[in-house]
Amino acid sequence: MSTPHIAAEPGDFAPAVLMPGDPKRAQRIAETILDSPRLVTDVRGMLGFTGTVDGQPLSVMGSGMGQPSATIYVTELMKFFDVHRVIRVGTCGGISPKVHVGDTIVAIGAHTDSAMNQLRIPGVNFSAVASFNLARAAVEAATEDDTVHVGTIISRDHFYFAPDGQTQRLADYGVLGVDMEAAAMYGVAAECGREALTVLTCSDHLLDSSSDMTAQERETQFETTLRLAVAAALS
C-alpha cells in the first residue's frame, strides 16, 4: 500500500513512531536504539525504520522541516498506517532565560504563528497540546534532572524572521523555546484522536548567544532527549 508520501505495507509501522526532522538523524537513531531495524519507506529520501526496543515494536521516521511537511507525514501515519503515537525528537532555539543550550524541553503545549491549526475549527484559536499520558511518562523518566524543562514552546513558520520584540515577549510569558513542527503535530493528533508529544534539545539560544556547547556536550544531552522520548513511546 502506498500513500502519496509513504511507500510501506500495512503493519510496517509500529504503533509508536519517533520523529526527528532530519531523515538521516532518523537513520542514526534507528541504528542506535532499535534491535533489527529495517527500512520501511524512503519516498523523497524521508527514511522510516521499524525495529524493537526491549522486545516492543518502535518506528523512527523523519518529518521534514516545518508544519506543512510534518502534517503530511503524521496525517498519513495516523490515518493510513494505524500509528497511535508520534513523539517528535528534535532541536529548538532557546527563548526562556531558564533554558540553556544542551538542555531538554518537554513541550506540553505549542503556541504558533502558523494558520494551519487556525483553519481547523472556524472561529476558534485551537489549543495545541501534547498528550498528557505521553508527557507524564517523559517527565517521570527525567527524575528531577534540572536540565529538563517542562512547558510551552512556539512553533514558528519562519526560521529567519520574527516580528520585532516578539521573542522577548514570548520569554516574558515563560515560553521555553522555538521549533517549527510541534503545534501542527498536536493538531493532527487531535484530528485523528491519537497522541503526540515533542521532546527537544536546545541547540542555540535566541536571546543569549554566549551559551554555546561543544558537539560532544550536545550529543550527550540529545541522549537525554531521546531517552525521554523512548520512555514516552513505550509507556
Which chain residues interact with ligand HPA by CB under 6 A? 91-93, 159, 178-180, 203-204
Q: Which of 22, 113, 157, 204 is catalytic?
A: 204
Q: Which regions of 11-129 does DSSP assign to beta strands (E)? A: 16-19, 35-41, 48-53, 56-61, 85-94, 104-112
Which of residues 48 and 94 has its CB atom nearest to ligand HPA in the complex? 94
Nearest-10 Cα torsion for 120, 125, 130, 133: -90
Q: Where are the alpha helices (DSSP H) in 81-181?
A: 132-142, 166-172
Which of residues 112 and 203 has its CB atom nearest to ligand HPA in the complex? 203
* Nearest residue to ligand HPA, by Cβ distance, number only: 93
Distance of CA 161 to the CA centre of its chain: 21
Minimal distance in Å, beta carbon 91 to ligand HPA? Answer: 5
Which of residues 75 and 91 has its CB atom nearest to ligand HPA in the complex? 91
Minimal distance in Å, beta carbon 172 to ligand HPA? Answer: 18
For residues 205 and 226, what is the distance between their CA atoms, to the nearest angstrom?
Answer: 20
Q: What angle do CA 45, 49, 54 make, to 5 degrees?
A: 160
Whether 212 is a known active-site residue: answer no
Minimal distance in Å, beta carbon 123 to ligand HPA? Answer: 29
Which of residues 88 and 194 has its CB atom nearest to ligand HPA in the complex? 88
Minimal distance in Å, beta carbon 120 to ligand HPA? Answer: 22
For residues 218 and 201, what is the distance between their CA atoms, to the nearest angstrom?
Answer: 8
- Report, as residue numbers or ranges, the catalytic residues: 204
